A and B are shown apart, each in its own frame.
Chain A
Amino acid sequence: MFLYQGPVKELDDKFVTLIGKFVADIKHGKIRGSTNRVLAMVTLLETIITESQYTTAVDLCGAIRAAGRQVMAALPNELVIANVARRLLRAIRDENRAQGNQGIEGSGESLQRLVLAASARRATLGTAQHDLREPLRDYIAELRGELESSISSICGQAREHVHGDELILTYGASPITERFLRAAAPRKYKLILAEGPDPTEEFYSELTVLIAEWSQSHAMANRLSAAGVPVTVISAASIYAVMSRVNKVVISVKAALGGGAILSEAGVFSVTLAARHYRVPVLALVPLYKLCPIHDLTPFNSSGSPHTALSYDHHEATSDNVHVYAPLYDFAPPDNVTLFITNLGGSSPSYMYRMLSELYDPSDYLL
């Protein structure tokens, strides 16, 4: 879908096996949580870089792009993982430019450059032949540090956004919101937790046990209340009813899109819509690795098991006349989000495109 249709570099068999194992681990739920997945991807690409014989920019780019493509093809829902490959590609380009001393050309955002861009991506790499592996290894260590600290740096901003006696609404359960709200606990705010469908996408392979939905939201409510935050649990249907009293909405995202839209669990559209109706600020917690160079997601979604919407106890669920849908993701347009809180600080949705060009090279938007 988002893959570049050009020729792909052939990878060694051992790397293909490694990629296969990585994909299997994710599918079987062995690696849970987006941070862990991203870190695993970094490790995978690092292995490819260090163990392969490629040294030049062109070869390294080809290998990483090939690996990224294979992973993306196997895991189309995991938008975030491909971002690691994009980051590395950008690093290779930068290093190459630094080594070749041709950095004057800029990082490629000028209108002129965009319009007059070289027809082939290969051409942008130049012809210099440097061994880039050493600087890349340093960069990977840097990247890993950034990924590991991104959530804590977002949570460090919690006290700037949550204040005493405020009524905060959050939707569904996610580790990052939980940490964020926990970090804000000394502010003595009150929390409304609207139970989300908690799509168990991390567990939905047959090998793992399906955790009862909603229980994740409830468990999070329980933990936060134990941490001293007064929590009111409401059902997803009552969000509009209480929204008029809410001061801020805090949500986590699955992926942030280039235009400032967000992809998150099902129901987030309704939440942000209600917030917008009442002009309540919506804060989206976005570690930068979740920022994807994609702008439109209309054809993108995947369905969860229908029994999460209508349990099989209801015999009408099995009737031929009835269709039951339980989509996993929801898409909220940029207008519905007030602020992105990234690990580099807050930024408005309209600024996300700039972040994008700082993180990735425009020619790598499509792997």
Chain B
Amino acid sequence: MTMAQESYQKLSASTKRRNRRHKLKSILSQTQNNLANNSNNIDHKSHPEITKDSNKNFIVNHNILGDVQDSLLKNKIEENIKMSSTDNKSRDDVMAARQAKKLAKQKGKGKEPVQNEIKEQNIAKPVAPKSEPAPSTEKKVTKEEQKPVKELNKEPTSKGKDEVDRAVKVDPIIEGADRSKEDIKAERAAKKAAKQAKKKGATEGERVEEVKVPEKPAVKEVSKQVNEDMTVKDVVETLRDIAIVAKEMKEVTVKVSAIDLSGKKAEESNKSKAELKAERRAKQEAQRAAKQAAQEKAAAAAKPKVEAKSAEGDAVKVKEDKAQKQKTLEKAKVKTGNGHRVNWFQHLYKEHDKEALKSIAINSNLHPAIVKLGVQLASKVVSGSNARCVALLDALKKMVRDYTLPAKTEFARGLESHLATSLDFLWAMRSPSASQTNAIKFFRYHLTQLPNNVDEFDAKKTLQEEIDRYIKEQIDMAGEAISITVRNKIADGDNILTYGCSSLIERILRDAWSAGLKFRTVVVGNRVHTGATDMLRRLVAHGLPCTYIDITSLSSVMDKVNKVVLGASALLVNGSVLGAAGTAQVALGAQAYNVPVLVACETHKFSERVQTDAFVYNEIGDPDDLIDKSDENSPLKDWRSNPNLTPLNLTYDVTPPSLVTAVVTELAILPCTSAPVVLRFKLSEYGV
């Protein structure tokens, strides 16, 4: 035929003995070469013949590509089916899997004559009813096996082999699907037994393994025979033999299932030697029969091929086993997953961040900036109340800028729905901080304030300006105001203690240092959350003299500290301060030593939520953070397999108002309990 096909045939001839994966790879590379040729050829448009040729090439390539994709797809589906069938799932599942497989098959044969498709359906249908007596089912199976052979007779193209492979692979699955649960169990038991036998001795194992795929070599043989001009009658005979072998196999499996049903899965590995022996003997007999059936028809030359194929089959089986193992592992994980949740924090657990990252819809309507922010939030690249707020507003600004209004939609409504989906995504990545909630409230407020018949351009401009204004007024200028206020409270020679990392505190201290105040900063950190070391680095880079201690050493320095300045994630309406885990402990320590505690918090972080302890709302951090990364043999590294061991990594804690001397806001220095007043004031002033 065409050049490409010739080359492919050559190729396939040379790779016959290789296993399937290598084949696929080479096909792919071949395809790529061809594609490259195509593009080259297309460049030379002055040669019409070449162009024509290349067009043909292209079509063939497409076919090959299709095949490759088919087989890949098929592999996947097969895996799924196997998993579901071995999983002892309900019948519906099995049915669904078969349906999917059928679809995939049809898809794969889309380019082939319609005739084939119809035939396939005819074959597939009679298989569907489940409660059929065994022999009839097997007949159907043989029928199906017949099909690819016929196809091959019709067009022995390069595709033929693929087709056969598929048929061979598909058959056991169909059988598996048709079988009852017990049968499936039995099959698994047989597999397991085979595995054990394999371990016992290499020679024995080989034989047993061959038994595992008795139909395969036979069918392969058939395909070979077809290539050598075999008569239809021979084919039918071969298939009958296969049917007999299959029957024998079934008997074996029934035997095994009888053994299996008496005990449970665990017993499979504890089978007595005698039972194992009996099984093996039965299998060997079956295998001998299969071999005979094959040998009767097959030429002696084809024999090595059989072995090669069976080896190939073994590889597949091994893969299957692996898949099964993985599945069981997953199951175990799921089971322990619930055990590792601290009971009183049950309501706070959600799917772990890493899982959330996987579920990002790539082709969704989300703005790239939103997606990026989502990833940054989930991976904690953007952390800290202010940073998260600014990043959110920035992403919103980009979203507004690039938003195109669908026809016949009011701007505010259209953007609102778009905003809602974006926020759903973002909050799924990480639940919003108070600052973010307030920023969104503000944005929504201005969205609703837009006149109905507003021009799209004007609306965008207004919103972007409002966002800029919010960042400037609520975050930047507020920070400056707070910085000035706190600076007035710092005296020369003071020791100022701070906990964790806060952009606002950093700014306050830097400004105060720049203003010429001479003080020492005590940065308190903890081992799990490394924010404090970042804070320390930034302060040191700015030339501030610093002292670093761990939170456990608090009492050793507290008697020398003059003021404690803390950042906050949110100020709740009941006056509690939601801060990084450990904040409350520092405040408590300060109170014990009668050191004033100032909490610096812009009013945009004031929240209308109320909370009395850290249980109502919190975020469960990555438990692995607790484990010492530098230690290879950390005693906690196996916590997932130990249901009694649960690392708990809390993100926030709540400092009661009694422990806080005052809150420094851009409005004034206030007692904590004035939070509702501030919120009411803001409502009247800004509408949010």
Q: Which residues of A contact B (CB under 8 A)?
A: 195-197, 212, 214-215, 218-219, 221-222, 225-226, 228-242, 244-245, 266-267, 269-270, 273-274, 277, 301, 308-311, 314, 316-317, 319, 321-327, 330-331
Contact = CB atoms under 8 A, between A and B. Distances in A.
Contacts of A269: 554-555, 589, 592
Interface string B578-589: 001110110011
A325 B644 contact: no
Given A195-B626, A219-B635, A316-B540, A225 B650 contact: no
Judged by DSSP, the binding face of A is mixed
Given A240-B582, A270-B555, A316-B536, 6 more contacts: A226-B642, A236-B526, A238-B582, A241-B581, A266-B550, A274-B588
B537 A221 contact: no
B548 to A, nearest CB: 5
A301 B553 CA distance: 11
Interface stretch (B27-35, B230-238, B527-535): B527-535
Contact of B645 (A215, A221, A301, A327): A221
B644 A273 contact: no
Nearest to B532: A310
B557 interface: yes
Interface string B277-292: 0000000000000000
Q: Which 5 A-B pairs have the closest CB atoms?
A: A267-B552, A237-B582, A225-B644, A241-B614, A241-B653
Contacts of B630: 212, 311
A327 B553 CA distance: 6
What class of interface size applies to chain B in its complex with A? Answer: 35 or more
A301 B559 CA distance: 14
Find the residue from B544, B552, B613, B638 having the highest chain A CB count within 10 A: B552
B627 A218 contact: yes
B517 to A, nearest CB: 16
Contacts of B582: 236-238, 240
Contacts of A308: 550
Interface of B: 342, 344, 525-529, 533, 536-537, 540, 543-557, 580-582, 584-585, 588-589, 592, 613-615, 618, 626-628, 630-631, 634-636, 638-639, 642, 644-650, 652-654
B644 to A, nearest CB: 4
Contacts of B342: 232
Contacts of A325: 547-549, 553, 556-557
B550 A330 contact: no
B234 to A, nearest CB: 66
Contacts of A266: 550, 552-553, 556
Contacts, number: 189
Contacts of B614: 238, 240-242, 244
Nearest to B647: A233
Given A196-B552, A212-B631, A242-B614, A324 B547 contact: yes
13 contacts: A215-B628, A221-B645, A232-B646, A234-B650, A235-B527, A235-B529, A237-B529, A245-B615, A309-B548, A314-B533, A322-B536, A323-B548, A330-B555
A326 B540 contact: no
Contacts of A330: 552-553, 555-556
Given A235-B626, A270-B555, A309 B549 contact: yes
B570 to A, nearest CB: 15
A218 B634 contact: yes
Contacts of A314: 533, 536-537
B626 to A, nearest CB: 6
A314 B626 CA distance: 19
Contact of B644 (A195, A230, A326): A230
